[in-house]
Amino acid sequence: MWAIIAVGLDLAKNVFQVHGADGAGQAVLRKKLRRTQVLAFFEELSPCVVAMEASGGAHYWGREIDKLGHEVRLIPPAYVSHLSNVRRMMRRMQRRSARRRCVQLCALFL
């Protein structure tokens, strides 16, 4: 059984995204939670690091999750948007390379 040591929490109005990683950095948990399910989920989870983007709502959720024994870390929005841009660029590069491979394979077999 894997043990979650870090959780990333993406806050929204009603549906929150939770991503958990084990000690090797592998994603072992991806889950959508409604606002009413968040605290119940973190109550069942063993203490770990919870990271989220700093905002007005994040401070509230950070205090509530901290009360449950987790270590909360707020990430500045500038860093989060940078990571989002890097992920978007990586997806574009992967699509381009996949297209190139497809064109190369089609050229071989035609």
Decide: 31 and 4 in contact? Cβ < 8 Å.
no
The percent of residues above 90 in pLDDT, for the chain, comes to: 28
Closest to 52 in 3D by CA, of 32, 75, 81: 75
At 54, the amino acid letter reads: A
Same domain, 5 and 52: yes
Q: Which of the four pLDDT bands, split at 50, 70 and 90, describes residue 37?
A: very high
pLDDT of residue 28: 86
Same domain, 9 and 44: yes
The top-scoring range by mean pLDDT among 5-9, 36-40, 103-107 is: 36-40
Range of the domain at 105: 77-110
Number of domains in the chain: 2
Same domain, 81 and 67: no
pLDDT of residue 8: 87
> What does each C-alpha distance from 21 to 8, 30, 92, 98 come to in angstroms?
8, 9, 24, 27
At 56, the amino acid letter reads: G
How far is 28 from 7, CA to CA, in rounded Å? 10
Same domain, 101 and 63: no
Same domain, 39 and 57: yes
Same domain, 30 and 59: yes
Same domain, 51 and 6: yes
Same domain, 101 and 58: no
pTM of the predicted model as reported, rounded to 2 decimal places: 0.70
Q: Which of the four pLDDT bands, split at 50, 70 and 90, describes residue 81?
A: low
Same domain, 49 and 101: no
Decide: 48 and 6 in contact? Cβ < 8 Å.
yes
Same domain, 28 and 62: yes
Same domain, 96 and 55: no
Reply yes or no on whether the pLDDT at 79 is more than 50: yes
What backbone phi and psi angles, to 5 degrees, belong to 55?
A: -160, 180
Question: Average pLDDT in the 62-84 region?
Answer: 83
pLDDT of residue 53: 85
